[in-house]
Structure 1
Amino acid sequence: MTSRYYFYLSYGHSVRLRADDRPDTDHWAGQLFNELSAEVAKLVKVDPVTPVGYYDDLVNPMTDWKSTLSGVLSVTDVFVALYSPGYFNKSWPLRERASFTGRFGDAAAAEQFVLPVLWVPWPRWEHEAERAAALRLGARVPEYAEEGLQAMARLAMYRRQYRTVVQRLAKDIVAAAAIAPRPAPPAVAIDEIEIEPARSTEIQFTVGVLAPSRTDRPSGRTAAPYGPTPRSWNPYRGVQKFPVAEYVANVAERLGQPARIADRATDLSHLGDGAALVLIDPWLAGTTAGRQRLRELAERLPAWATVLLVADHEDPEYATRGARLHQAVTATLTAAGVALSRITLIVDIARLVDRLPSIIDTACTVYRKNAPVFLPKGADRALPRIAGGEGSDA
């Protein structure tokens, strides 16, 4: 990591509809980041390849996002927030902002180092203070207030106005960075921040884990992928430094879903509380106790939950036993009534990284379509009747 960044770019991630999709918000945020970096580098007279800014697309997928970004925010002078309806409806960007502003002790001190941008307009009566602050950047550029900077980036007819706003933003970054405190106070760890979005569209996302621990792995299985608990399991230890369940939970949170990890029988009983994705190590089927855990899972698995069998085809033991065991897992689950269409096999970390956002989005969509609707206590369960018609007194 560099010793200092002039700015950090924060935005609300889009939902991916396909594994190979890169949604508009993510694409145009990336373009703005590159153009803004070039402008800042020019103003401070450094080589264009010198990192002057950061945004979370630069985080290596194999690392812990929360830890990395907490470190980045600790050495960043200015926080650039791309405000949109999605920004305020997701906890992840709000937690990034709170992590940064928490460095300064009070809101007034932090305000001069937070530069808001009207990225996508929203109704005037919502988040009025944030809207007024974001509009200051586009003074005398009417298209900015009407369309927002993302639309200006997309449309060639606004290219001149877009460049004006980007150059103005770069100058504001450099000016604010010049008075940033030295040494920079550390950011509050993102893990320690709990924020309720202004109008939450989030649902609880549970990452279930069924894997052996180091002490109860199958006979002859290497201990390297395992730890003291099932949630410590890391099948891709050669390229990823932290457990696969932590990685999945991080991705879910970046997509706007509060995530928790469940790896004990008591925790797994809460899979029905929201969207659920269950990660299974095929080696679980290598012991009698493991096969029993699979049967118990199948009995309590809600109809909307997705199952992901995760293995590493480069593991020398996969070819000899792992492939057969993943078939045993599938057979156990389907025999207990879990549809084959709900079970996905991933045996390559690159494929996991590529497909995971769409898998998470699909799991949330399936939950919204299939989860039971609970009436409030005391609600009338009788369906309403329409007055009038034959036999009516109306």
Structure 2
Amino acid sequence: MSAPDYYFALIHARTSIPNQWVEGFYHQLDLEVRRRADPPHGLRRGSLYYPTAGDARWALEAGIPSVRVLVPLYSREFLHEPPPDFGDRLYQPGDPATMPFVHPVLWEPHLPARRVNGLAQATSLGTAVQEYGDYGMVAICRLSAYTEELRQLIEELADRLVTAAENPDQVPPWLRTRPELPMPARRSPAARFQITVVRPRGRGVDWSPFGTDVGWVTDRARDAAQRLSLLPEIVLGPAAPGSVNGFHDTAGVLLLDAAVLDDPPSRLIAEGMLRDMPSWMTVVMVMVIRPDGDDRSHELVAQARAMTRNGVQIARDAREFQRAIDEAVIKARRNFLRSRRSRGPWGDLP
């Protein structure tokens, strides 16, 4: 016999650390839903929420329980790289009226294209609160001046979720009502940030050289870019798309696994990439120091620095990597902007 469904699942653009504003919004919404809940057979009080990318990955591997309504928080990061538990639903044609129902929330005021699933429902939530459409839910969560508006929006959304979850055989009223929306104004293309990973053959972009409790270094790099409101794209060199040398015309960093230098075929590829990469990119070499390998580590550092004109930052442990990647992202972004200015007029960033 299958387990009863949950009322809803909150889905957002997750990183390796929890987002305090998302967490606060979720807990208030969950509380309001529980207050209204009168679960019939096949439904149980409660909801699903995974605060970090790692939590979501583990849940997906184990099997996520069923829910009646999905509540994605639409933001620039979400639309750029949809979470795996919602990616296949983002661009579904129309607004499917089959379970699980989808009721998005405009987390940021950057309206997506009309074809994004559930935009009408997301917008209709704030018909009585203009600030919701102007500034997005995250701004209302952050500013104490909007406490009453936040309460109003959460209560309205909770009412919608409970009605939909407890009546799965009926199309929710908020799905039947699809108001015509003005086409969103043209916006500048999002500023992207390329994280190129160079590792020995057969290895993927994600690895945890400093222990699984620390997490993937690519997650740390993604977080560093997102803190500057950049949209990171992680690619595995030398298969990265873009120009002939494998790099986009965009700011970026290169994560070099030190193990590449001990693998001759991979080393040749790495040497070519380091030689040809754009001048604005920065390099962070990730290496793990063995107790008896101090001389070898110095040798690898010297080799890496000799292979690139851009300089190399070395990360031997998790703390060093965090400092190095933060500095590398800031430097790469600054160098890229300077490069664009020196090449002539530059309008929208790629």
What is the TM-score of this pair, normalised by structure 2? 0.65
Shift in CA distance, 348/288, structure 1 to aligned 2, threshold 3 Å: same
Higher RCO (C-alpha 8 Å, min separation 6): 1
Deviation at 1:10, TM superposition (A): 4.0
Supply the distance in 1 between the matched residues of 2:137 and 2:315 (Cα, whole angstroms): 39
* SS of alignment partner, residue 159 of structure 1: helix
1:224 — aligned with what? none
1:54 — aligned with what? 49
Q: Is the 8 A contact 1:298 1:336 kept in 2?
A: yes
Deviation at 1:31, TM superposition (A): 1.6
Does 2:103 align with 1:115? yes
Q: Is the 8 A contact 1:275 1:364 kept in 2?
A: yes
Deviation at 1:166, TM superposition (A): 0.9
Does 2:69 align with 1:78? yes
Does 2:295 align with 1:303? no
* SS of alignment partner, residue 231 of structure 2: coil
Supply the distance in 2 between the matched residues of 1:3 and 1:131 (Cα, whole angstroms): 29
Shift in CA distance, 252/301, structure 1 to aligned 2, threshold 3 Å: same
Q: Is the 8 A contact 1:231 1:243 kept in 2?
A: no
Does 2:236 align with 1:261? yes
* SS of alignment partner, residue 69 of structure 2: strand
2:190 — aligned with what? 201
Q: Is the 8 A contact 1:206 1:274 kept in 2?
A: no
1:260 partner amino acid: V
Q: Is the 8 A contact 2:314 2:321 kept in 1?
A: no
User: Which stretch shows the higher mean deviation, 31-40 or 288-297?
Assistant: 288-297
Identity of aligned residues (%): 21
Supply the distance in 2 between the matched residues of 1:291 and 1:235 (Cα, whole angstroms): 21
Supply the distance in 2 between the matched residues of 1:286 and 1:128 (Cα, whole angstroms): 48
Supply the distance in 1 between the matched residues of 2:139 and 2:239 (Cα, whole angstroms): 47
Structure 1 segment 202-241 matched on structure 2, within 5 A: 202-203=191-192, 205-211=194-200, 229-231=202-204, 234=207, 236=209, 239=212
2:9 partner amino acid: Y
Supply the distance in 1 between the matched residues of 2:52 and 2:257 (Cα, whole angstroms): 29
Does 2:163 align with 1:154? no
* SS of alignment partner, residue 236 of structure 2: strand
* SS of alignment partner, residue 174 of structure 1: helix
Supply the distance in 1 between the matched residues of 2:97 and 2:52 (Cα, whole angstroms): 28
2:52 partner amino acid: L
Q: Is the 8 A contact 1:282 1:326 kept in 2?
A: no
Deviation at 1:32, TM superposition (A): 0.7
Deviation at 1:167, TM superposition (A): 2.0
1:6 — aligned with what? 7
Q: Is the 8 A contact 2:7 2:68 kept in 1?
A: yes
Return the structure number with greater helix share: 1
Q: Is the 8 A contact 1:7 1:80 kept in 2?
A: yes
Deviation at 1:113, TM superposition (A): 1.8
Supply the distance in 2 between the matched residues of 1:346 and 1:361 (Cα, whole angstroms): 16
Deviation at 1:9, TM superposition (A): 3.0
* SS of alignment partner, residue 109 of structure 1: coil
1:347 partner amino acid: R
1:28 — aligned with what? 21
Does 2:315 align with 1:346? yes
* SS of alignment partner, residue 212 of structure 2: coil
Supply the distance in 2 between the matched residues of 1:105 and 1:145 (Cα, whole angstroms): 23
Supply the distance in 2 between the matched residues of 1:265 and 1:171 (Cα, whole angstroms): 46
Deviations 1:214-245 (A, max 9, x none): xxxxxxxxxxxxxxx24478453852799866
Shift in CA distance, 308/169, structure 1 to aligned 2, threshold 3 Å: same
1:277 partner amino acid: V
Shift in CA distance, 162/296, structure 1 to aligned 2, threshold 3 Å: closer
Alignment gaps of 5+ in structure 1 = 182-196, 214-228, 376-394
* SS of alignment partner, residue 80 of structure 1: strand
Does 2:159 align with 1:171? yes
Supply the distance in 1 between the matched residues of 2:82 and 2:317 (Cα, whole angstroms): 29
Deviations 1:135-183 (A, max 9, x none): 42234445545554333323323212311221221221222223448xx
Does 2:246 align with 1:270? yes
* SS of alignment partner, residue 332 of structure 1: helix
User: Computing the radius of gyration over CA atoms, which structure comes out larger, 1 or 2?
Assistant: 1
How many aligned residue pairs are there?
Answer: 316
Deviation at 1:347, TM superposition (A): 2.8
Q: Is the 8 A contact 2:210 2:318 kept in 1?
A: no
Supply the distance in 2 between the matched residues of 1:32 and 1:198 (Cα, whole angstroms): 27
Shift in CA distance, 272/93, structure 1 to aligned 2, threshold 3 Å: closer
Deviations 1:183-202 (A, max 9, x none): xxxxxxxxxxxxxx986415
* SS of alignment partner, residue 205 of structure 1: strand
Deviation at 1:293, TM superposition (A): 5.5
Shift in CA distance, 359/7, structure 1 to aligned 2, threshold 3 Å: farther
User: Which stretch shows the higher mean deviation, 350-359 or 110-119?
Assistant: 350-359
What is the TM-score of this pair, normalised by structure 1? 0.59
Supply the distance in 1 between the matched residues of 2:37 and 2:217 (Cα, whole angstroms): 40
Q: Is the 8 A contact 1:294 1:332 kept in 2?
A: no
Alignment gaps of 5+ in structure 2 = 40-44, 170-185, 346-350
1:100 — aligned with what? 89
Does 2:299 align with 1:324? no
Q: Is the 8 A contact 1:101 1:107 kept in 2?
A: no
